[in-house]
């Protein structure tokens, strides 16, 4: 056995490492497998295909609130559309919207699509001030050439406001 170290102390360390490594790999693997459903991905309206965001999967959907699309339901729900200027997505939210919510504003909604491909939001996040837009939304708008915020990057230290 020439591959083993000659020193008994080094041999003992090697056996300890060899015994502990599979246990640690198993623990990391089980942790990652357990967390796979708690990851929430961000999508823009042009990215929410049936394959990328199947019905029932929790995601975040962001974009600009389409002017003229906000409708109040009799049951207290609010329906509106968001756009990234390439595609639109319909969102239905039951609850109180943030005070800063308005048409033409950047928002991020968390929820899931139903079988009819209508996004059922559980939470709506609105931008903090006039200069802030969620980084993901700003990046998507830059990619499509629709960014109107100049050359400066979207601030990364601004907070989302929820109500």
Binding residues are 128, 132
CB atoms within 10 A of CB 162: 14
Q: Which residues are annotated as a binding site for heme?
A: 128, 132
Q: Rounded to 5 degrees, what are φ and ψ at 8?
A: -65, -35
* Spatial distance between the Cα atoms of 107 and 78, rounded to a whole number of angstroms: 14
- Report how far apart, in Å, the C-alpha atoms of 12 and of each of 1, 19, 22, 143 are: 15, 11, 17, 56
């Amino acid at each position: 056995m020439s591959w083993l170290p000659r020193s008994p102390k080094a041999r003992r360390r090697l056996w300890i490492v060899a015994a502990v490594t599979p246990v640690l790999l198993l623990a990391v693997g089980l942790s990652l497998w357990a967390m796979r459903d708690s990851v929430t991905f961000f999508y823009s309206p042009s990215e929410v295909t049936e394959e990328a965001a199947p019905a029932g999967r929790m995601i975040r959907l962001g974009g600009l609130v389409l002017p003229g699309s906000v409708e109040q339901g009799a049951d207290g729900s609010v329906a509106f559309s968001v756009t990234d200027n390439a595609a639109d997505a319909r969102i239905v939210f039951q609850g109180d919207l943030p005070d800063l919510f308005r048409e033409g504003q950047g928002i991020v909604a968390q929820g899931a699509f139903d079988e009819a491909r209508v996004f059922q939001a559980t939470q709506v996040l609105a931008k903090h001030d006039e200069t802030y837009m969620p980084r993901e939304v700003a990046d998507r708008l830059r990619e499509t050439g629709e960014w109107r915020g100049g050359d400066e990057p979207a601030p990364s230290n601004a907070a989302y406001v929820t109500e």
